[in-house]
Structure 1
């Protein structure tokens, strides 16, 4: 059976499963050197790994690929850290603790001053030494080119001497360490031709880019001069396969050896431990919905509260997508006040009463409520390449109809432009809310008035004041208390719809070693990845 036929049958089977699931919901309530550029496929390039001493190669499927490979632009640094191409000064380990990377030590001198010692012996992929001055220039480049740079690191000045880097911030900034670990600040050699960084970044990781095809794949090889010792694996092809089911089928067919974020409905295909290894963990990702508060219905807090009571988060998690029903923006795996906040339970009768009291009635008997002659019909946008989003959106559509709200769904390959332009009523996606190991970053970027990703237009000045307190509060427990206070304000306003905390996984052939899932999913591969010969 060929690959296309198997994919068709799998998608058909998945569709049948979805019909049963939704029926149940309704009844319940509800190029540089040495690389072959001939165009030969990565699979045919793969060497015979059964012969000792032969070069080893892996084909890896990525669920997301940025606009290019320049880490200073957009969110592209995430690709470089996932592919073990780029590194930051410090990094989070599998236990969410900050560990040394390019910087081997650091100290906070005072509330605005930090000192980093740049590890001796680190070189860029072109062989140039990584000095404090090189790090300074790299960070300055990211601050200049990326619109979120200054708000992520509000730097007043940097000084470099030998291997010593001193950073002064414009204000007391307690979250600096976690923020500087964000892949926006992958360290690159700015003395190289930076105009080529979109396809050939010169970074410090255990693998270096040999070729790049936009929206398709990255070819890498091990960097022999890597400061922590050269990788065992010789080369990799990292393929962009955005659809969850397609990634699973590519792994099953043998087209790829490692796949990240395989859809939950297809994990059963890989239960044979003699053939595959599954590493699935609770993630720091929260699946949630932006409300566009410019919509006249969604500007009414009673409608938002009704929607919040009208969906069954626990059922979505337990039955449809795994994980845990969401309470607020941060998962229970993060110590940011989860136990101190009150979220929304599934109470459809309460949702109906809220709408009744607010004057939303179904006057024509079609099942959809109206007010002032306007039906509550809302557009939800989503990316259907992500299986969990598609499944949850369909279930939400069914349950909200039961309380008298019509939900129309529109899917796009990329939601970014539509979110930024306000071209939506509701937008469903998921974000990693723990990317800096601290609550400040996410609260600053998603919930503060006028924030870059506050695309729904939510504003609460009291919330802004609480978030601002985080900037200068260095006591950890007080920071977490402030985070809990901020979350409760967001929930009381029903400003967003928090749905599930989704699990994440990496699935590999049993011959692959070192494919480990990190809670922060901008890490994926490192120098330990290898294949048995």
Structure 2
């Protein structure tokens, strides 16, 4: 089923918005068909083991600490099966029940959630609607992303019933509240300890944490879906792709996510390893710092974009698919309706000529008014695919007279937000809410949190804002396509590839499954086979 992921996502993601339409008519989700019932039945038929079972798992990213309300730390907690949200996406991008077992849209600004009975926090406290309310309020208070993605006018809790009223019609609320920022935690506990020991609801609970190194967890026997088979896990932070592969090969770890493609050949023996690789929703792309005078001219940015060969990067260097816009073709957000930049080096040269950049001194690098067209590209040193593509870009851009100097960092965040760069290469999962609004809001709106290149287009802002109150699915996709074309016409960013993702495990490990949204990794089904 997952091998037909692109078709599957296209069909099933519409179900996210069917919820909107059905709920408007008073229809409520039926959890009886969810995977939760299967999980519970499986939990009642568990065998016994003579000794505790333990697995070592490598994470490619860890975050600043374990408090899900801070920064992007919640992603670590969902990958490690420590924390859960009200609802989440399954492997086909369909919203499924989690802490909430049913939900409905009462009207354009009112949503009702029923909190599942029998869910407890890791300290044994019951999860009620009031506990959920206070957890969501905490995330909104502590994280700017929370205020922007769940614009709450009011929340009311009674028993297991939670009602959220938004400040405006907000069509993407369901997908946004599934983001790990909104992991449900027990705010009645000592929240000052959440940086190292969050009290959440997942099948595993934290027993030890060493910043920038590892997390120790054990199974939570009171988990509502049934206790996990594995007793304990060590989640090790190994940021370098090649190092993760070596650790798996040596036996230091049992499971690794995002093994570099050049290392996958080491794990082809099916008697020893299992590889689960799927197309992802992750887009590799380049920010232009539009505040740099050399890059403030859209014609220069277009020239650079025409000067790189995305098809070669995808087919030869890193796998996956050549990118056209921010959203992969697996998402029905208008990919087939937009026109991107192909590899046309002669057109690139013409555009640079027209912009006044000439190679006056014959050194192969163009200049204008005595200023060389020399640009700094920053990238993450740990990501193999980024390093490979950056080297190819450097070579190809030199052919059109653009000098690219590369600087690698272990973490790009501070450097990107400082604005002290010309181009920044990275990748993001652009389908994390099953809807285009989230990414457009946070990366492309004027002044947005992650619009670190300073790009601004008031007409684009207006189109994105219209998404907030448009509930019709096809109209939402049309607006998304219109927004993407504006971004491409301005050449505000360069979209390079849609990269595949993988999880590699020892053959004795069962239940290690790759999801398109890569903030999921483990769940209660992870176990060591016989």
Q: Scaled by the length of structure 1, what TM-score is found?
A: 0.90
What is the Cα deviation at residue 372 of structure 1? 0.5
2:65 maps to which residue? Answer: 68
Look up the match of 1:101.
98
Supply the distance in 2 between the matched residues of 1:378 and 1:225 (Cα, whole angstroms): 55
Partner Cα separation in structure 1 for residue 145 and residue 529 of structure 2: 42
| Aligned partner of 2:458 among 445, 457, 461 | 461
Q: 1:442 aligns with which of 439, 443, 464?
A: 439
2:320 matched to 1:352?
no
Length-normalised TM-score, structure 2: 0.91
Whole-Å separation in 1 of the counterparts to 2:287 and 2:150: 26
1:272-297, Cα deviation, whole Å (9 max, x unpaired): 00000000000000000000011111
SS in 1 for 2:357: coil
Aligned-partner Cα distance in 1 for 2:217–2:95 = 27
1:153 and 2:150 are equivalent in the alignment: yes
| Per-residue Cα deviation, 1:314-368 (whole angstroms, up to 9, x for no partner) | 1000000000110000001111000110011100011011111221100101000
- Of residues 292, 307, 316, the one that matches 2:289 is 292
Q: CA deviation at 1:54?
A: 1.2
Distance 2:297 2:471 in 1: 37
Q: RMSD between aligned alpha carbons?
A: 0.7
1:52 to partner: Cα distance:
4.5
Please, which of 206, 211, 216 is the counterpart of residue 214 of structure 1? 211
- Aligned-partner Cα distance in 1 for 2:488–2:500: 23
For 1:207-356, list aligned pairs within 5 A: 207-356=204-353
Quote the Cα distance in structure 1 between the aligned partners of 2:49 and 2:463: 60
For residues 115 and 442 of structure 1, what CA distance do their matches in structure 2 show? Answer: 25
Give yes or no for the alignment of 1:185 onto 2:185: no
User: Hey, what does 1:29 align to over in structure 2?
Assistant: none
Alignment deviations for residues 418-476 of structure 1 (CA, whole Å, 9 cap, x no partner): 11110110000000000000000000000001100000010111101100110000011
Q: In the aligned structure 2, how far is the partner of 1:477 from the partner of 1:528?
A: 36
CA distance in structure 1 between the partners assigned to 2:339 and 2:529 by the alignment? 49
Q: Where does residue 381 of structure 2 map in the other structure?
A: 384
524, 527, 530: which is aligned to 1:530? 527
Displacement of 1:53 in angstroms is 2.0
Q: Does 1:117 align with 2:114?
A: yes
Residues in 2 aligned to 1:276 and 1:85: alpha-carbon distance in whole angstroms:
26
Separation in 2, partners of 1:365, 1:182: 52
Q: 1:195 maps to which residue? A: 192
Secondary structure, counterpart of 2:434 in structure 1: coil
Report the secondary structure of 2:301's partner residue: helix
**Alignment partners' CA distance in 1, 2:293 and 2:465:** 30
SS state of the match for residue 139, structure 2? helix
> For each residue in 1:378-413, what CA deviation from the matched residue of structure 2 results, as whole angstroms up to 9, or x when unmatched?
000000100000000000000000000000000111
Q: Aligned pair count?
A: 483
Secondary structure class of the residue paired with 2:358: coil
1:166 aligns with 2:186: no
Say if 2:390 is the partner of 1:393.
yes
Q: CA deviation at 1:149?
A: 1.1
The runs of 4+ residues in structure 1 deviating greater than 6 Å are none
Structure 2 stretches lacking a partner, 5+ long = 1-47
The match for 1:362 among 359, 364, 373 is 359
Specify every segment of 5 or more residues in structure 1 that has no aligned partner in the other structure, as ranges.
Answer: 1-50
